[in-house]
Amino acid sequence: MSRSFADVARKLSGPAVHFLGGDVVSAFALMAIGLVVAMFVVLEAVSLHAFHRADARSVTDAAPITMNLARRLVEEEMKESRDYQAVGATLLRMPSVAWCEIKIDPTDADEATRTPFDHTFGARPEQAELLELSAALTGPGHAGTLRIAFSPPSAWGMRGLLWTSYGVVTIVALLVLLWTYRVLSKRIRPLGLVCDSLLAYHSGDEQTIETLQVPATASEITGAWNELVEEVTKIHRELDEFRCREVITTRPDVCGTPFKDVLEALPVGLVRVDHAGHLTYSNPAAQRFLGIEPVSGRQPLDAVLENKAVVQCFGDLRNHVNDTGIDVQAGGPDDTVVRLTPVVTGSVAQDLTVMVQDVSQLKQAERSRDEFLAHITHELRTPLTNIRAYTETLTEDFFDDEQTRRECYNVIMGETRRLSRLIEDVLSVSQIEAGAARLARTATRVDEMLRQVIQDMQANADKKAIDLVLKIPSKVPLVSGDRHRLIQVWTNLIGNAIKYTPQNGTVRVDLETEDNILKVRVSDTGIGISEEYHQRIFDKFFRVDTGEEESEEGTGLGLSISREIIRMHGGNIRVESQSGSGSTFTTELPVLRAAEAKAGVDS
């Protein structure tokens, strides 16, 4: 299947697929814009040249007529007022006249007092293609010459008109081109994505068929392509599973070396039993779980397995007594519990392939769960029974003793608080184990929290005449912590110290700093804890099995919760104690650096 898909990718990765890319569309759009602009430039140049030639011909044809008219105007003026300035201004206003020159000389002796006239009207351009005509002037007592230069009208007006029309046409063309580009891009971009995925697969950068899928868009092409890839992936996976099952369920002992190495390294046991009840294959995991020695060839199953219960389970699986799996004690030093599950194959029906799994930890987890439920049920039943009993007592009509009623109320309130603490502890354990517990960290002063807890616990200490001492240095650094959670820790530790310290004892709380570590020591002169229980006391619901500890109320959750809270703060908790010599619980928390302590810690 991989080879066929690679062939498809190779065939589709040619120039035809490249043409479907979005880069080709962009290049085509730029080329079209360039062609449109170049075409308009050429049209403008050709049009201006044609207009210029037409204007030049019209000027050439009209110049003699204009010259004849101008000569008559000047000669008429020579006869009358001789205001040649007005005549020159009139000539400049004639069509195509660029400039003119009038020269008048007196010819009559009686008119000698008259001065000659020589003036040029209009500015002569330095470079211009001009048509110049001249004519002789005659008049009473005067003679002269008239020169007129003709030039075609300026092309700037025509050029502006042309560029305006070209601009309108260009904008329309660009809008049409933009619309065409967007339509083509929308249609072609999905094909470009498909092309890129095929090229990546063909080049070897991506080796799995799943990578051929393209980002989901609104296009029907990408949706159809992804569905095709999913279908091919599904077929490919089913084919691999079928081949793997066939290899495993046939002769795993004669498999190729790489595949046999995989079977040997599997953490799950695999056992093959033929139709005659002979063991034909077992990998190291199965040998370890079932406690059997490596065998070569075919060996009777009951001769290899000493545990007859396991042999009977294999027989039940062959007879389809239980096709979902059987849990059985396999024996051994760890009392391993294994689960035997038949592997359904399409091979010979008389052969049996069994998967062997170690479920000892799963069974232990199930037992722990059952113990947890039993313990919680017992702890909940006791305060609820007391609350119910005292509540029923208070409802009796003949019950009118005020002191007894007050005692009933006190018992009910005490059991309610006990029930509330139990529920809070269970919720805390559940949140910590589920990873849902969150710390609202702030820059916190541990000395203030300890003073608050000591104040709350003072009444319990006074009931037993216990001396409750708090020693705090003059300067205490801040820690980054959850105030509510840390108060819960100090309450558990100091409360346990008071609970397990006899009358007239001492509970001491010391606070000190050492190597950027804030240490809080809770010491008591109580009954102490044997060294063999130092680790187990932090387990959930564990309580030391002695008469003195069992006489005190408790759920066995306080130390477990305290250890997890301290660990969440990056600290540690340890115990130093001996039976009958009191206990010392030490918690360690990292202190805040100076910059962090000044800025505070965001919650």
Residues 371 and 413 in one domain: yes
Residue 193 domain-assigned? no
**How many other C-beta atoms lie within 10 A of the C-beta of residue 71?**
19
SS3 content of the chain, % helix, strand, coil (to 5): 55, 20, 25
What pTM value is reported for the model? 0.42
pLDDT of residue 589: 93
SS (H, E, C) 331-379: ECCCCEEEEEEECCCCCCCCCEEEEEEECHHHHHHHHHHHHHHHHHHHH
Q: Which tokens belong to 456?
A: 């709350």
Q: For residue 163, what are the contacts with CB-CB under 8 A and spacing of at least 6?
A: 44
Q: Domain for residue 182, yes or no?
A: yes
| Structural tokens at position 347 | 């091979």
Helices 22-79 and 156-203: angle between axes, nearest 10 degrees: 170
β-sheet bridge partners, residue 471: 510
**Are residues 293 and 287 in contact, defined by beta-carbon separation less than 8 angstroms?**
yes
Asked if 524 and 583 touch (Cβ cutoff 8 Å), the reply is yes
The pairing of beta strand 583-590 with beta strand 572-577: antiparallel
- Tell me which amino acid residue 153 is: P
CA dist 539 and 568 (Å) reads: 17
Q: Are residues 282 and 345 in the same domain?
A: yes
Residue 200: inside a domain, yes or no?
Answer: no
Instruction: Tell me the C-alpha distance between 544 and 578, whole Å.
Output: 13
Judge if 269 and 368 occupy the same domain: no
Residue with tokens 């029923």: 392
166 and 57 both lie in a single domain: yes
Q: Note whether 414 and 512 are same-domain residues.
A: no
Boundaries of domain holding 261 = 250-356
* Same domain (yes/no): 284, 404: no
| CATH code where residue 395 lies | 1.10.287.130
Buried b (16+ CB within 10 A) or exposed e, 258-278: eeeeebeeeeebbbbbeeebb
Residue 464, exposed/middle/buried by CB under 10 A (0-12, 13-18, 19+)? Answer: middle
Q: Which residue(s) pair with 425 in the sheet?
A: none
The reply to whether 119 and 100 lie within a common domain is yes
* Domain identity same for 411 and 445: no
Select from 122, 113, 120, 130 the least CA-distant residue to 94. 122
Residues 443, 587, single domain; the answer is yes
With respect to residue 179, please indicate whether it lies within any of the assigned structural domains.
yes
Regions of the chain where pLDDT drops below 50: 1-6, 8-22, 254-255, 348, 549-551, 601-603
Q: Please tell me the predicted confidence (pLDDT) of residue 471.
A: 93
Rounded CA gap, 523 and 552, in Å? 19
**Boundary (domain end) residue, out of 356, 380, 412:** 356
CATH code for the domain in which residue 459 is found: 3.30.565.10
Q: Which residues pair with 354 in a beta bridge?
A: 271, 342
User: 493 and 587 in contact (C-beta within 8 Å)?
Assistant: yes
Per the CB < 8 A criterion, the answer to whether 586 and 526 are in contact is no
Distance between CA atoms of 480 and 570, rounded to whole angstroms?
10
Q: Is residue 455 part of a domain?
A: yes
Q: Please, which residues have CB within 8 angstroms of residue 463's CB and are 6 or more apart in sequence?
A: none
Last residue of a domain, one of 389, 410, 432: 432
Would you say residue 18 lies in a domain?
A: yes
Query: Are 141 and 274 contained in the same domain?
Result: no
pLDDT at residue 16, rounded to an integer: 40
- The CA distance from 518 to 339, in Å, is 49
The pLDDT of residue 523: 93
Q: Are residues 303 and 452 in the same domain?
A: no
| Segment (H or E) for 475 | none
Pairing between β-strand 131-139 and β-strand 142-150 as defined by DSSP bridges:
antiparallel
- Note the pLDDT of residue 472: 92
Looking at the structure, tell me whether residues 416 and 293 fall in a common domain: no
Structurally, the chain folds into a number of domains equal to 5
pLDDT value of residue 399: 62
Residues in a beta bridge with 442: 481
Judge whether 204 lies within some domain: no
> Which residue has 């195509």 as its token pair?
96
List helix spans (H) across 111-219. 156-203
pLDDT tens digits along 176-195: 877 877 777 777 777 777 77
Q: How far apart are CA 366 and CA 47, in angstroms?
A: 96
Q: Helices marked H in 80-140 — which ranges?
A: 84-92
Inside any domain, residue 196:
no
